[in-house]
Amino acid sequence: MFLLSHPEFHEKNLTFIIQILTDNDYPIDFILKTIINRLKHLIKKTNSLTNKNNSKKVQMKKRNDSPYVQDISDKF
């Protein structure tokens, strides 16, 4: 739900999910524990992706570009 919806709707969607589960007789402690665990997993995954992207950016910054100079660059 969090990955597919805009952050503006996260609270509303979460409330909706909790309501559906409680209407279907799921215990509230089970619902909250499951939601918390899932959110922790998503946060960890997001942080991992962010760290990977940041390390890629650092690697890209190390690239050395040189200008094109006719005859010299062709030989290089």
Classify 25 in phi/psi space as left (phi over 0), alpha (psi -120 to 50) or beta: left
Residues above pLDDT 70, as percent of the chain = 62
pLDDT in the model for residue 22: 96
pLDDT in the model for residue 44: 86
d(CA 49, CA 46): 5
pLDDT in the model for residue 34: 93
Lowest mean pLDDT among 42-46, 47-51, 54-58, 72-76: 54-58
The length of the chain in residues reads: 76
**Closest Cα partner for 36 from 53, 4, 14, 55?**
14
Residues above pLDDT 90, as percent of the chain = 32
Non-local (6+) Cβ contacts of 22 within 8 A are: 28, 31
